[in-house]
Amino acid sequence: MLSVIQRVSSARVEVDGETVGAIGQGLLVLVCAQPQDTAETAQRLLHKLLRLRIFEDDAGKMNRSLQNLDGQGRHGGLLLVSQFTLAADTRSGTRPGFSGAAEPAMARAWFDDLVTQARAQHPEVATGRFAADMKVHLVNDGPVTIPLNL
């Protein structure tokens, strides 16, 4: 799975003017399933997302994870958004190709599996709407933006 992680002060996803997912402080994660992904890939990604130490501690160093934002076990929000365009191949020409992204049915299955696992392991999980025309609003905190390829 390809992903782009953004540390946010807040983020929300709108579809047709309606907010379908929103979080306060936490992580907005754009996710692209690939043909070779498995349930294990989704589990590895989730493990990394929940434990990645990219939130500042009291000394201003990135030592805290989504599961321990304040050093006392306060959790941050996790907003997962499916985005096949992360697999864009721009090596030739001027129109990107997307053959590196999983077919829609497979991508939906892997994304849904990731969301199910996330909701079982983390108290605040929101999502966009798969295959919808989404408007993503965010306040990138830092800014901290990290690409991840698992």
Indicate if the pLDDT at residue 150 is higher than 90. no
pLDDT of residue 73: 82
pLDDT of residue 11: 98
Backbone angles phi, psi at 119, to 5 degrees: -65, -25
Distance CA 78, CA 84 (A): 19
**Per-residue pLDDT tens for 101-142?**
999 999 999 999 999 999 999 999 999 999 999 999 999 999
Catalytic residue selected from 6, 25, 67, 83: 83
137 strand-pairing partners: 12
Catalytic residue selected from 19, 38, 85, 98: 85
Amino acid at 102: A
Contact 126, 138 (CB under 8 A): no
**Per-residue pLDDT tens for 83-110?**
999 999 999 999 999 999 999 999 999 9
> Can 41 be counted among the known catalytic residues?
no
**Per-residue pLDDT tens for 78-88?**
999 999 999 99
> Can 130 be counted among the known catalytic residues?
no
CA-nearest of 54, 62, 38, 65 to 122 is 65
Kindly give the interhelix angle for 39-51 and 104-121, rounded to the nearest 10 degrees.
40
pLDDT of residue 138: 98
Distance CA 63, CA 24 (A): 19
Distance CA 112, CA 118 (A): 10
Amino acid at 11: A
Catalytic residue selected from 84, 90, 111, 121: 84
Model confidence at 71, in pLDDT bands (50, 70, 90)? confident
